[in-house]
Structure 1
């Protein structure tokens, strides 16, 4: 069945089809996320283990090697990277790309559980996480309030700002940089400990039981069963000082009698500087799959609300990695529109017919916009890769429509009606148009199946280009002939331009002198490859 002829005889179904595709594409475009690069999932697992006070040599022997040996036999393992520092070990297990990330995560956890008893008793429980490439900060702010010192400002960031910004959709985590952390200091008096015959270890052991809650079972109170909890929590340093310490001889003393308890800050091991001055700041990391632009807009709105509540608060933007994303998106969209406008201009210069230009140019938006719907349902985003793909094929999308409309114009010059010219011309070159389109698809689609890390990025490139080219074929076979049949007017033969006559003369010469033409083409072909080593 000739789909072009069916579309010409029944224009309403074709119009409704593309109206629905356009509507779906526009809705998908508004819902798509804007990112710098597509989020890719690499099967890499990071294991962190800590042993405070241990030297790198000790950690390498007692922790790192045991973890490496445990991972060595895992299926699909490619490389192991180990980093040993004072008090901590980081082991990264890289698996082959065919390995499912969740399966790799489960395998690593199972391997650690098998050797957990062989690790030093004091080593902290190893944490296992998959490597997230989107885990770098996208926004960094510095905050200042004249009526708060460094300690109070740090608490304000940890409590107020963190809670407010984590409620923003797309914010994955917030980390304070600079500032200080609260710490309750307990300075024991050696003379008093000696007089009471109590050691620092005994005091430390009883302090470990503070800030703990435990289930205490159930109790029947007044005929009603209620749950019971044992609570050992304190809120201030003064409350901790009033804590009773049980001695070996049965006596009980308060902690404040043998130690000085003060509410202070922990040792500062890092600092944040802005323009050479110490500041308290915070970094924002977006969650996987979230739009960087939406995260920035949400964060800006929440910070404006906080500033309205605290008039003296000053917020300075230290780093903004979202602005380049916004600029790349704007530039890519501008390039897309400019390319489309130039393509339409070239069509008009060659056809010299306003109605024919409109029919051919319609193929461009009707091929691009439905592509957004497919991209959305495939989980793609608006990033450098997908927008580059659309920018590259924007000139190709009108090729099929130009071939169709040019052949229809040729039939019109034969004295045929637009309806008859569209029917015969579309049937005449239908197979050639389909073959040309699928040749282009065969060029772009294999990039979606590239192996390695580059293949993870180019999967969206290949599918986006192939889908848009396919929609251009659908437009050229269904909509272009139908529009030409009802929009174009009868046309008489016109004088052939001089440049066409020149081209026809060159083409005739090449056809008559085939040997010379092949020799010249071979020389150009070989010469082009000979120039490759000269490229910088």
Structure 2
């Protein structure tokens, strides 16, 4: 049967079929995300472990090799890479492409949970992350306010702007750039330690044991059950200085009698400059599957609302990769429309 002849004799079904296909194509096209490159879900997982002050040899023998041995039996594992530095190690596990990335991530997390007891006790818990190809920032802003310190601006970014933008659909992460991080600093007097026959490690252990919250189960009070927990965290340097330290002879002294406790900032490991001046900024990273243009539009609306509510803050955009993506998209659409129009003209005439 000749389909062309049948369509000419019965034009209504053919026209309806093309109208339906065109409608479905337009609806599907509107749901497509505008991105410079498509999202690639690679089955690769990284394990980052930190032990401040440890040498590279110690990190290799006590941490890196144990992590590699724990991951060596993971299903679908292809390669293992280890990067060892002073006080830190990063182990990357590359799985075969047919391996589901979520299952690979769960396997690595389970292996790290089983291995935690064999790692050094003083080491921080390993951080397990899945490698995201779309993890690059698409927008970068700077924050400024008169009569506000760098520490106050850093706190505002970490505790307010980050929470605000993470509520925007499609935002995967908000990273602060520059600024400082608050740190309670304890500077121990070695002469006082020698006089009291106590070591810095013993003081550090006692402070760590006291500075923690622990569940205490449930208790019946007045015919009602209530949750019980131990609250021992302090909120200021003064409270930390008032903590009592137990000595070997049974005496107890306050921490501020052995050391100088101050509310300071952590050591700077990075800095952000804009026009040669130090600034506090933040980067916006879209989540996997989200579109650059849609995320940028939502972030802009959220920041515009913030500017109206808090006019004392000045938020300036200093980097934007979305405009280039949108210009490329518009250029592709123009070429598509021109090609379709020329095809219609050629067919008709």
Using the TM superposition, give the Cα deviation of residue 146 of structure 1 relative to its aligned residue in structure 2, in angstroms: 2.0
Aligned residues of 1:210 and 1:234 also touching (Cα < 8 A) = no
Alignment-derived partner of residue 464 in structure 1: none
Partner in structure 1 of residue 242 of structure 2: 242
Secondary structure of the 2:245 match is strand
Q: Does the alignment pair 1:324 with 2:327?
A: no
Q: Is the counterpart of residue 86 in structure 1 residue 98 in structure 2?
A: no
**Larger Cα-atom Rg:** 1
Q: 2-side partners of 1:113 and 1:306: how far apart?
A: 41
Aligned 1:173-188 pairs, distance under 5 A: 173-188=173-188
Alignment match, 1:277: 277
Where 2:33 maps in the other structure, the secondary structure is coil
Note if 1:206 corresponds to 2:206: yes
Counterpart-to-counterpart distance in 2, 1:219 and 1:41: 48
1:48: which partner in 2?
48
Larger strand fraction of residues: 2
Match of residue 39 from structure 2: 39
Report if aligned partners of 1:209, 1:232 keep a CA contact under 8 Å in 2: no
DSSP 3-state at the match of 2:209: coil
- Report the CA distance between 1:205 and its aligned residue: 2.2
| Structure 1 residue 127 displacement after superposition | 2.5
Residues 181, 311 of structure 1: alpha-carbon distance in 2 compared, 3 angstrom cutoff: same
Distance 1:219 1:320 in 2: 55
Q: For each residue in 1:328-383, what CA deviation from the matched residue of structure 2 results, as whole angstroms up to 9, or x when unmatched?
A: 111111110111122223334xx3xxxxxxxxxxxxxxxxxxxxxxxxxxxxxxxx
Residue aligning to 1:156: 156
Alignment of structure 1 residues 274-353 onto 2, 5 Å? 274-348=274-348, 351=349
Q: Deviations over 1:81-120 (max 9, x none)?
A: 2222221111222222222223333443455456555544
Query: Residue 212 of structure 1 contacts residue 231 of structure 1 at CA under 8 Å; is this kept in 2?
Result: yes
Corresponding residue number in structure 1 for 2:135: 135
Residue 64 of structure 2 is matched in structure 1 by 64
Whether the 8 Å CA contact 1:49–1:127 is kept in 2: the answer is yes
**Matched-pair contact (CA < 8 Å) for 1:272–1:278:** yes
| Alpha-carbon displacement from aligned partner over 1:117-141 (angstroms, at most 9, x marks no partner) | 5544444333222211011111111
**Alpha-carbon separation, structure 2, partners of 1:94 and 1:269:** 29
Distance 1:299 1:2 in 2: 55
Query: 1:346-425 residue pairs with structure 2 within 5 A?
Result: 346-348=346-348, 351=349
Please report how far the alpha carbon of residue 56 of structure 1 lies from its aligned counterpart in structure 2 after TM superposition.
2.3
Identify the residue that residue 467 of structure 1 maps to in structure 2: none
Larger helix share, 1 or 2: 1
Distance in 2 between residues matched to 1:114 and 1:224, nearest whole Å: 38
How far, CA to CA, are the matches of 2:111 and 2:258 in structure 1? 46
Match of 2:230 in 1: 230
* Match of residue 260 from structure 1: 260
Question: 1:449: which partner in 2?
Answer: none
Q: Report the CA distance between 1:11 and its aligned residue.
A: 5.3
Structure 1 unmatched ranges of 5 or more = 352-536
Deviation at 1:67, TM superposition (A): 3.3
Contact conserved, 1:192 with 1:258, CA < 8 A, in 2?
A: yes
For the aligned residue pairs, the C-alpha RMSD in angstroms reads 2.7
**What is the alpha-carbon distance in structure 1 between the residues aligned to residue 165 and residue 308 of structure 2?**
15
For 2:127 and 2:181, locate their aligned partners in 1 and report how far apart those are by CA, in whole Å.
Answer: 22
Unaligned runs of 5+ in 2: none
Match in the other structure for 1:382: none
Q: Deviations over 1:449-489 (max 9, x none)?
A: xxxxxxxxxxxxxxxxxxxxxxxxxxxxxxxxxxxxxxxxx
My pick for the range that moved more, 103-112 or 224-233, is 103-112
Q: Which residue does the alignment assign to 1:170?
A: 170
Query: 2-side partners of 1:298 and 1:87: how far apart?
Result: 40
CA distance in 2, matches of 1:109, 1:223: 42
Q: Deviation string for 1:473-530 (max 9, x for gaps)?
A: xxxxxxxxxxxxxxxxxxxxxxxxxxxxxxxxxxxxxxxxxxxxxxxxxxxxxxxxxx
Shift of 1:285: 0.9
- Show CA shifts across 1:204-227 (max 9, x none): 222113442221222222222222
